[in-house]
Structure 1
Amino acid sequence: MARPEKQAEPNPHTDVVERSVWKSIALVAICTLSMIVNNACSSSASIALPTIGEKLHIVQYKLQWILSAYALSSGCLLLLLGRLADLYGRKRMFLLGVACLSVFSLGCGFAQNEITIDVLRGLQGVGGAAVIPASLGILAHAFPPSPARAIAFSTFAAGAPIGGAIGILVGGVLTQLTAATWRSVFFLLAGLGAACFVGGYLVIEKDVPSNERDRRVDWLGAFLVTAGLVLIVFVLSDGSIAPNGWNTGYIIAFIVIGVILLLLFIGWQHYLEKIHSDPDLAARAATKWYLAPPLMKLSIWTRMKGRMAVMLCIAFVEWCSFFSWMLWVQLYYQNYLLLTPVLTMIRLIPMFITGCICNLVVALVIGRVDVVFLIIFGTILTATANLLFAVIKVHAPYWAFGFPAAIVSVVGADFVFAAGTLFVAKISLPHEQSLAGALFQTMTQLGSSFGLAITTIIFNSVLTKESRAAGVAVDKSGTNAPRAAQLDAYRAAMWGGFAFGILGAVLAALFLRHVGIVGHRGDVDALIDDEATAHAVGEFRAGDDGDEKDAEKPQ
């Protein structure tokens, strides 16, 4: 009797697991909840800063580190944790991430001094760095290119404004009205994180091993990029409040070392990619522990004739514009107009409503509209929000400047995130989905820090200049500056945000005109119009495990 033929096992990175509609909905809901918790962890601290400073006796110019500590760890570890998620399991990394968010949120709620809360915020950011790339990889694998993927990614992107709403709206109410004040916000986040952990454990499919032949981690590359980003983000966060500002010795040293480390990382990744693209050299590299596959193939930036790089740059400048607007508008309301956290929160409500509507719009039109129109339209509206505050009249009613700015501010961030992550997922290979999502998220995090640093320089320069002209020596807090000088400084910072938004629109108009529609199921080979993308697809189709001869086309 002939031996029955062994049935081929499904390829975990190309075959889509059959699941019910309700389980698919639950999967999207849990990933979206992770985005909500991540964004709430960031935004809740911003509106509670004045209260935290008062209760923990932290001087105003050091309060920024409560925000920067989270951004530092969450932005600098994305690439490493995204790569580890692709290699060793996205569900595992997801659960680790939400556990960090929950546990360290609880710790922040019990913090008693400045150092403790700064350290815990940094550890909390590690959770954000783990959970977002893993979520993007989970969704990209669970939903092949189709209307369902567009809905899944748009819903996930909607978690950003919802998380912002929970962080700012609910956070403002809890900070002002509860006995625990700002601590209540972190207790709420700990509970949401715990719920997300339970849901992820029950709903997300079991992890399967990566089908890459060489699953070693490029630890040298991970060190270079992480250390370089840490130093650069630290400088961007601390440069304006250092003893001698940007002329402080350690600030100059750190920025130089950070740039050198990033250049070394780029050179090292190029070297590793060159070795592993040659079968003979790759066989020899397998015997040396330090010659692992690159953490990030540089060729990923050249996909679709370099439009991948353009999309990442647009994400960077859009977050420069959006995040700087969001922070300065809160400081304007609370420090200049002297509004309470609740009154500030009320003025930002339209932003979160618009954010949810925007992602619904994306889900409906992403399969019908060229992505360039969405991105140009969105980035211009974010720039417009900055423009409205750049020319704001203090005594004008809220409805004249604040209300329309709140409505349009979030459009660019939502359109760029939803369309950008769909674009990145579509031209990335199945075994690099979390890494590609981490790369996109890294650019948004760096954009947030860079935009804040540049607009802070603008703010401080104008504030100092105008105050000196009025015969006032400004202290580090800036609270003793003349009212007119403060207003001019806020307006100048908003002009900086406006410039970033317009730059994003110009980049899209010049370089994304031929991307087309990214949210439909078309033939993916239509995107393979350049040597870099075709080479990557050819490598994957050859089969990383030596057995896969007919791997599915990239998502």
Structure 2
Amino acid sequence: MDEKRSELPLWRSILIIFSCTLAMIANITANSSLSVSLPTIERELRIPQAALQWVVSANPLSNGCLLLLFGRLADLYGRNKAFLLGSLWLLAFTLGCAFVNDAITLDILRGFQGLGGAATIPASLGILAHSFPPGRARALAFATFAAGAPLGGGIGTVLGGVLTELTPQSWRSPFYVGAGITTLSMVGALVSFNPDQPSNEEDRRVDWIGAFLVTAGLVLIVFVLGQGEVAPKQWSTPYIVGLLIAGVVLVALFIIWQYHLEGVQDTSQCLLYPNPRSRCASLSLLAMRHLPTPPPIMKLSLWTRARGRVAVVFCVAFLNWCCFQAWIYWVTLYYQNYVGYSPLRTVVRMVPMFVTGLLCNAFVALFVGHIAMTVLVACGTTLTGCACLLFAVINPNAPYWAFGFPSAIIAVIGADFVFACGTMYVAKQCLPHEQSVGGAVFQTMTQIGTALGVTVSTVVFDRVLESKATKNGISMENLTSVEEPRRLTLPAYRAAFWTGFAFGICACLLTVIFLRVGVIGHRDSASLSPTLTDVEEPITVTNSARESAVEREKEKA
């Protein structure tokens, strides 16, 4: 298999990377282009401000909650098929969003739009891992793919602001651009992708029970995180409390169910290859006869590989995205609502972030084979945290170059380093039939981190603002003057950025203490970092092995 992958022509390798990166750009652009257009959409479609968030949240909600299921389906039935079908789906609903005339339809189409990204991104990670063996080519492929995130953010934000203000189609124009990017990605995939290879798993059933539990649980949790602050009684609203408890219970049941199914799979192997380490529990044997026991949609042992370092990578990605997305969210609001800049002036101040993002991924591609992963991730998470720190201590009267410019430069470094290094490391630890699932788990952690980071920082912002208003004898409903909101909201903005800084520092400490990983990205990296070789070998069972096992059972009888 590796020999076939190494023989790819240069033009085909470039086109594979190009197509997968365009898929990432299209997925990010679908959200970033819309955030700048929200005020225009609010006026044109007459959307109440309390309901405006669902225009943004519908896409990441469906996207993040279905990554794991679609990743598993891609591994089973073909990553090429999953990529093309997901791209076609994304294209159809992106174009559909450009023609809507009411808020409810836009929310629904945005939710369906997210399903396309949920299919293409895990499939892209699996395709890259399968097409490029460990080495410099894989490092370049994953770094380029990771560059699609800042590039998509830059394209979406800049074009979203420019096209909304300067084109007759206004906020609808970015959807046309997104559809064009998706079309290019599909064409490149049709020309360059390898035919799907059948899965080497003997049991190819889908764990639909686990898929339901994890999808329903994540939907409820992400919904509550986005709705908790705007509910009638905020977090004490009965349906918010109930849905949060239900979501946590469903996720807990999913974990228990996955543990059980993995035990069943170990039991089936134990019957063929007696092994005292296999978990041949009587409960599992009973379940094999009376309950559906497909392979788990996500093996819990994936988290424990490399002595638990895979789990650390997932947690670092989660915390880093809490920090990074909180920075993006509050910087945008600070510039527009506090300083009073227009969307276009806000975009200009964010441009350094996109330039740095591209440079960072080029840096990773060149030096990931020479610098330890721990150093890259620790430096990246620290710098992203410091981006929040600069705004936490900002002087509003200081020029942009004192706080805003350096913050925009370093904010994206952590996201790029963690994404590129993290996805390469996870791909290294995954078996051939788990590549898309591994990428899906990584992406799911970043999506949950995005929701939690914005939610927690919003709670902090609201509580600090409420406290300052109460001390000054001003009700929250009466914050309508020009001077009072500026005087009272600055401490609230600073508190929100301090929250983001805390997330970034936690990610850095977790990296330094628990993520001791050496150089990755080259074939000889195993000698430099023994943790990279702690991968389970796939178990293949031949007919002769089965016959031998049956004969042993007959002799025992």
> TM > 0.5 between the two?
yes
Q: 1:391 aligns with which of 390, 393, 407?
A: 393
Unaligned runs of 5+ residues in structure 2 are 272-279, 547-557
Structure-1-length-normalised TM-score? 0.91
The total of aligned residue pairs comes to: 532
Q: Give distance in 1, aligned partners of 2:59 and 2:542.
A: 38
Alignment of 1:426 with 2:428, yes or no, is yes
Cα deviations across residues 7-38 of structure 1 (Å, max 9, x unaligned)?
Answer: xxxx6x99536320111011101101101111
Map of 1:327-338 to 2, 5 A cutoff? 327-338=329-340
2:207 match: 218
Map of 1:165-244 to 2, 5 A cutoff? 165-244=154-233
Map of 1:273-284 to 2, 5 A cutoff? 273-279=262-268, 280=271
Report the 3-state secondary structure (helix = DSSP H, G, I; strand = E; otherwise coil) of the residue aligned with 1:37. helix
Cα deviations across residues 194-241 of structure 1 (Å, max 9, x unaligned)?
Answer: 221222122211112111000000000000000000000000011111
Residue 6 of structure 2 contacts residue 133 of structure 2 at CA under 8 Å; is this kept in 1?
A: no
Cα deviations across residues 269-323 of structure 1 (Å, max 9, x unaligned)?
Answer: 0011011012237999777672101111100000011111111000000000001
1:553 match: none
Cα deviations across residues 125-182 of structure 1 (Å, max 9, x unaligned)?
Answer: 1111111100000000000101110000000000111100111011111111111111
Residue 19 of structure 2 contacts residue 184 of structure 2 at CA under 8 Å; is this kept in 1?
A: no
CA positional deviation for 1:58: 1.8
Q: Tell me: CA distance 1:263–1:476, structure 2 relative to 1, closer, same or farther (3 Å).
A: farther
Map of 1:493-532 to 2, 5 A cutoff? 493-513=496-516, 515-522=517-524
Q: Tell me: CA distance 1:288–1:14, structure 2 relative to 1, closer, same or farther (3 Å).
A: farther
Residue 303 of structure 1 contacts residue 530 of structure 1 at CA under 8 Å; is this kept in 2?
A: no
Instruction: Choose 422-431 or 100-109, whichever is displaced more.
Output: 100-109
Structure-2-length-normalised TM-score? 0.91
Q: Give distance in 1, aligned partners of 2:364 and 2:27.
A: 22
Instruction: Choose 279-288 or 50-59, whichever is displaced more.
Output: 279-288
Identical positions, percent: 52
Q: Give distance in 1, aligned partners of 2:143 and 2:153.
A: 16
Instruction: Choose 276-285 or 80-89, whichever is displaced more.
Output: 276-285
1:81 match: 70
Report the 3-state secondary structure (helix = DSSP H, G, I; strand = E; otherwise coil) of the residue aligned with 1:543. coil
* AA at the equivalent of 2:429: I
Cα deviations across residues 483-541 of structure 1 (Å, max 9, x unaligned)?
Answer: 2122221111111100000000000000012x11121112759877699x55x32xx1x
Q: Give distance in 2, aligned partners of 1:216 and 1:151.
A: 34
Residue 220 of structure 2 contacts residue 243 of structure 2 at CA under 8 Å; is this kept in 1?
A: yes
* AA at the equivalent of 1:509: V
Alignment of 1:543 with 2:540, yes or no, is yes
Residue 85 of structure 1 contacts residue 134 of structure 1 at CA under 8 Å; is this kept in 2?
A: yes
Map of 1:107-126 to 2, 5 A cutoff? 107-126=96-115
Cα deviations across residues 62-106 of structure 1 (Å, max 9, x unaligned)?
Answer: 222222111111110010000000000001111122122221111
Map of 1:453-492 to 2, 5 A cutoff? 453-475=455-477, 482-492=485-495
Q: Give distance in 1, aligned partners of 2:52 and 2:447.
A: 19
Q: Tell me: CA distance 1:100–1:470, structure 2 relative to 1, closer, same or farther (3 Å).
A: farther
* Runs of 4+, deviation exceeding 4 Å: 281-289, 476-481, 523-531, 544-549
Map of 1:408-447 to 2, 5 A cutoff? 408-447=410-449
CA positional deviation for 1:399: 0.8
Q: Give distance in 1, aligned partners of 2:481 and 2:13.
A: 52
1:292 match: 294
Instruction: Choose 31-40 or 199-208, whichever is displaced more.
Output: 199-208
Cα deviations across residues 105-130 of structure 1 (Å, max 9, x unaligned)?
Answer: 11111222221111111111111111
Q: Give distance in 1, aligned partners of 2:308 and 2:527.
A: 16
1:347 match: 349
* AA at the equivalent of 1:369: I
Residue 466 of structure 1 contacts residue 485 of structure 1 at CA under 8 Å; is this kept in 2?
A: yes
CA positional deviation for 1:431: 0.8
Q: Give distance in 2, aligned partners of 1:525 and 1:278.
A: 34
Residue 14 of structure 1 contacts residue 430 of structure 1 at CA under 8 Å; is this kept in 2?
A: no
RMSD: 2.3
Q: Tell me: CA distance 1:21–1:479, structure 2 relative to 1, closer, same or farther (3 Å).
A: farther
Q: Give distance in 1, aligned partners of 2:532 and 2:380.
A: 28
Residue 317 of structure 2 contacts residue 418 of structure 2 at CA under 8 Å; is this kept in 1?
A: yes
Alignment of 1:69 with 2:58, yes or no, is yes
1:377 match: 379
* AA at the equivalent of 1:512: L
Unaligned runs of 5+ residues in structure 1 are 1-10, 550-555
2:116 match: 127
Q: Tell me: CA distance 1:150–1:218, structure 2 relative to 1, closer, same or farther (3 Å).
A: same
